[in-house]
Amino acid sequence: MALSETQLTALRNLAAKKAGRPVDFINIADARALTEFGLAARSREGWEITAAGQAALAALPDGS
């Protein structure tokens, strides 16, 4: 699976959100695409990164 730059940015923002850091706006279309890939999920609190999303970020060459 290849993520677009905007999807990757959204995934990084979701990881930062989970870590308790403030994040920029998360594009809904990108978040929905991440959900389809199993990398994010929608909850009452908004979009959240999944374990698969965290693993995908850790697998990147820069480990982000």
Which are the contacts of 24, defined by CB distance < 8 A and separation ≥ 6? Answer: 13
Mean pLDDT, residues 54-58 taken together: 95
Note the pTM of the prediction, 2 decimals.
Answer: 0.90
Burial of 12 by CB count in 10 Å (0-12 exposed, 13-18 middle, 19+ buried)? middle
Burial of 24 by CB count in 10 Å (0-12 exposed, 13-18 middle, 19+ buried)? exposed
Element (H, E) at 11: helix 5-18
pLDDT tens-digit map of 14-27: 999 999 999 988 99
Percent of all residues in the chain with a pLDDT value above 70, rounded to a whole number: 97
